[in-house]
Amino acid sequence: MTTQGYTHPEFLVDATWVEEHLDDPNVVIVDTDLDPAYTRGHIPGAVLVPDNFEKDPDSGRVHIMNPEQFAAMCQGLGIGDDTHVITYDNSQSLYAARLWWALNYYGHTNVQVLNGGWRRWVNEGRRIELTRARPPAGRTFTPSANETIMCRIDELKENHNKPDVAVWDVRSDGEWDGSGDRGNLKRGRVPGAVHLEWFNMLDRDTHQFKSAQEIRDILAGLGITPDKTVYTY
């Protein structure tokens, strides 16, 4: 991964490393797809994340779980404070990256996304498993929120129109242009935001992230450059 020039290549992991560590008791592999996809086949030993992990179970809103809820979920998956977590999916890392972010938000930075996800694993002919894995028991997850990686609405309102700020709308075209709302209370976008749907950062065939230079070129074309503070939504 380092040959591709990413600023933080350690955020991603390749399939060979994962296969070599399938029996490592300190590694927990988390499948972030839905149950039907998981039961059709998954990486050996992978546990399945709850399908509502992106929501506050008390309100049902797409807000991150509170610390107690998130800790309980992680412990149920066998994730403790010292666990090395690998996340993956078959959705171009959409849900794997969300879990990666949620773990980082709660202070667990020892987590990586499998670059290429399930598609890469299968295409490379690596072995799969059908039986449901049993998560390791008795582990303690201690959440410690890192507020610096989350933007609150008041912060965005105050900063969105500053010259040294870029706001990147990664939603669908319909949400961007108002032709579809996808359940949002209002149609429209943040004033001054630029638009490019998130999956343009990945190769559609391999599900792997594009090279660092390709990504930099794409973002520079949108005015998203290293000298700016970037907000995404």
Mark the ranges of the chain whose per-residue pLDDT is less than 50: 1-3
Contact of 168 with 160, CB cutoff 8 Å = no
pTM of the model: 0.92
Alpha helices (runs of H) in the chain, residue ranges in sequence order:
15-20, 35-39, 67-76, 94-105, 117-123, 153-159, 173-177, 212-221
- Give the pLDDT score at 175: 94
Backbone angles phi, psi at 37, to 5 degrees: -70, -40
Per domain, the residue ranges of the chain are 2-146, 151-232
Domain 2-146 in CATH 3.40.250.10? The answer is yes
Q: How many CA atoms lie within 13 A of 188 on its CB side?
A: 5
Q: Which 3 state secondary structure label does DSSP give 201?
A: helix
- Give the pLDDT score at 1: 37
For the stretch 216-231, pLDDT in tens is: 999 999 999 999 999 9
- Give the pLDDT score at 59: 67
Contact of 116 with 4, CB cutoff 8 Å = no
Does 2-146 match 151-232 in CATH topology? yes
- Give the pLDDT score at 3: 46
Query: What CATH topology corresponds to 151-232?
Result: Oxidized Rhodanese; domain 1 (3.40.250)
Cα gap 12→114, rounded to integer Å: 6
Pairing of strands 12-13, 111-114: parallel
- Give the pLDDT score at 61: 66
Structure tokens at 192: 């001054």
Cα gap 77→133, rounded to integer Å: 10
